Amino acid sequence: MTPRLIVSDLDGTLLGSDHRLHADTIEVLRTLVSHGHQLVLASGRHYADMRVFRDQLDVPIHLISSNGAYTHDPDDQLLNANHVDPRQAAALIRLPRPDGVRLSLYMDDAWYIDAEMPSYLNMHAATGFTYQVVPPAKMPTEGIGKILYGGPPDALFKIETAIREISDGMLHVTYSTSDSLEIMAGGVNKGVALSALLKRLSIAPEDCLAFGDNLNDVEMLSLVGEPHFMLNSHPEMAGHLKTARQIGHHGEAAVAVLLRERFGL
């Protein structure tokens, strides 16, 4: 069988409802690597956050983090980094927002947030990744891979509208969940990062399987030969992905189930 590259989002896709890897998922992915296939994890999470799952799987895995802002090889070598323009970053940090909306910056090696938000740490309990509180007036404007606004969807829609008016095409704006508005440099997304990695690895897109659940996965899923989206996906996913296959729920290790079927494990 032709070796394939298998790329997956994490939250809402490969991880269970507890934001952890299911035992069956670990077993299937390790088996596929032993059969000569390659793995990529592609997430909005910070690289340091994702690395814990790679280490748990204990097989070689490339990591695409912060929605494509960074790509690392299995030996932790940084292959690519894309930062938000400092002038754009400064404008976003200054952008008015309601009290209930939190502002986060994903730096090269840290997560900054404008105020305490303990509920944000629940999804990172398995990795121990945590934020540092930095007042907006003291936030840096250089070395930012991703800017994140978290809050009610109606408030985020107003912020998104304002960002699109001032960005002049210099920013990539997307959602990882309905309450998570994420901004990267223009032209930065998981699909672009995966395309560059496929060229580096000399793998054709048609030899790649991909899995995702939200709007920040659309470009990645649109690139590959075998795209899949989850039963629990954003309701607009099917409209963006005419040829993709819908599979089961992330809480039932549906990616592992599909991979067992696809590769006859």
Could you tell me the mean pLDDT of each successive run of 10 residues in the chain, 265 residues long?
92 94 97 97 96 96 97 96 95 91 96 92 88 96 96 93 86 89 95 97 96 95 96 91 93 96 94
Per the structure block, which two tokens stand in for 37?
């296939």
CA distance 16 to 20: 6
Instruction: Supply the pLDDT for residue 120.
Output: 86
Helices (H), the chain: 23-34, 47-57, 86-94, 153-167, 190-201, 218-223, 237-240, 254-263
Over residues 222-231, the pLDDT tens digits come to: 999 999 999 9
CA distance 21 to 10: 9
Over residues 145-180, the pLDDT tens digits come to: 999 999 999 999 999 999 988 887 789 999 888 899
Which of the residues are catalytic?
9
Instruction: Supply the pLDDT for residue 123.
Output: 83
- 176: number of Cβ within 10 Å: 24
